[in-house]
Amino acid sequence: MITADDRAEILIDSLGYIQKFHNKIVVIKYGGNAMLNNELKASVIKDIVLLKYIGMNPVIVHGGGPEITQLMELKGIHTEFVNGLRVTTPETMKVAEMVLTGSISPEIASLFNANGVPSVSMSGKDGKTILAKQKDPALGLVGEVTQINTEYIFNLIEGGYLPVVSPIAYGESGSSLNINSDEVAKHLATALGADKLILITDVDGVLADPQDNKSLISRLTLTEIKDAIKSGVITGGMIPKMDCCTGAIEGGVTRCHIINGTVPHSIIIELFTKDGIGTMVTNEEDIYENGNR
């Protein structure tokens, strides 16, 4: 049982973190079951509202793959994936924009507004914020980021707004391109000079032993990630997450965190407690003093 003294100690310990992160940009990739479960959604929203109230500048990038698939099934549209990427026909692109930009993004923004944080939903096309080119003709309207223009988002941040970004990019001749949301978060974090990139997933982080949930690796350097991939410790869907974190760190982001969004208030626990709750990725030169995350 947590006593009043315990709560006071937690608050006192968090003061240093709050001072350190004041006015810093934190890009949060919001996805997984934390988007689908109402209680978990409320937990994530409250955590991010707290970040805003203590002086941090969160920028949200969200996914929506399951919701897109669900609407396509309702419309009788066939869904095809190649190497984990959705083949995006013009018909699929219309559904993706309808779901991501027309539904999910405004819904998330409205939740922040309802909790006292002014928020604006946007796509990467707004203000030509995210420019992209076609990734592979076989994938259709799937893009890869070529340029990030930060002016629109910086104007929102300076105006006190919390941006909620859907992963739709401005393609050649003004076409819409569907981008992997992790990639969008990585490129935005790099371009905005974010202090942190947080990837909300359905897993605790990197496990030293995949069969042992208590074997969470709390911190990994870029070199350790390469070694862990070679040795088979990091496999499957965690590899692209690690590639995302590696790209962000190499692009100047200070730290990247992978956390389990199915754990209530995992953002706050990860950022404001000594041991955190997920896996933190840093470069080798990052001085990791006293567990400071």
Q: What Rg, from alpha-carbon coordinates, does the chain have? A: 19
Nearest to 161 by CA among 125, 188, 221, 121: 121
Plot region of 281 (φ>0 → left; ψ -120 to 50 → alpha; else → beta): beta
Q: Which two tokens mark 140?
A: 């259709």
Instruction: Tell me if 178 is assigned to a ligand binding site.
Output: yes
Residue with tokens 């991939």, as numbered in its chain: 229
What are residue 94's phi and psi, to 5 degrees?
A: -60, -40
CB–CB of 204/218 below 8 Å? no
Q: Which two tokens mark 38?
A: 């109402």
Instruction: Tell me if 64 is assigned to a ligand binding site.
Output: yes
3-state secondary structure (DSSP) of residue 38: helix
Residue list, annotated binding site: 64-65, 86, 178
List, as residue ranges, the binding site for substrate.
64-65, 86, 178
